Amino acid sequence: MQRNSYQEMLAAVQAFHDKHRFRESGGEEMAYRVALMAEELGEISSCVTKGKSTQALSEEVADLLILIMGTAIAGDFDLNQAFWDKMEKLMQRESRMVNGRVRVSEFRDME
C-alpha cells in the first residue's frame, strides 16, 4: 500500500479510534465530533490571523483532516466516494466574483 494512499490514512485513523475505544467511550458521537471540528477550525483561523508558521497551520489542518476521516468512520460512510461524487458536482458549477473573491456555488440565494 502506498504511504500516502487514502486507504492507509483511513486505516491509521481507524487504529487510533480502536486504540482509544472511541466507539465505546463516546468519541464517535456526532455532536461531539462537530464540536471538535469547530474547535480545530478556530485553531486554523488563529494560525492564519496571527501569522503563525506554515508548520503550525499544516498541523492544525492535519488535525481537522483526521477528525473528518474519523467522522466518516463514526458515521459509517465512504468518504472517498463522497469526495469524488461531490467533486463531480462541483466541476459542473459556475464561479462568480462575490465581494472581490471567487465563489463556486449553485447561487440559489444570490440571484
Q: Where are the domains of the chain?
A: 6-77, 81-111
pLDDT recorded at residue 4: 77
Task: Split the chain (111 residues) into runs of 10 and give each run's mean pLDDT.
Answer: 82 98 97 97 97 97 98 97 96 93 82 47
Fold of 6-77: Helix Hairpins (1.10.287)
On whether the CB atoms of residues 105 and 93 are closer than 8 A, the answer is: yes
pTM, two decimals, is 0.86
Q: Give the angle subtended at the CA of 66 by the CAs of 63 and 70, to the nearest 5°.
A: 140
E strand segments, 1-111: 95-98, 101-104
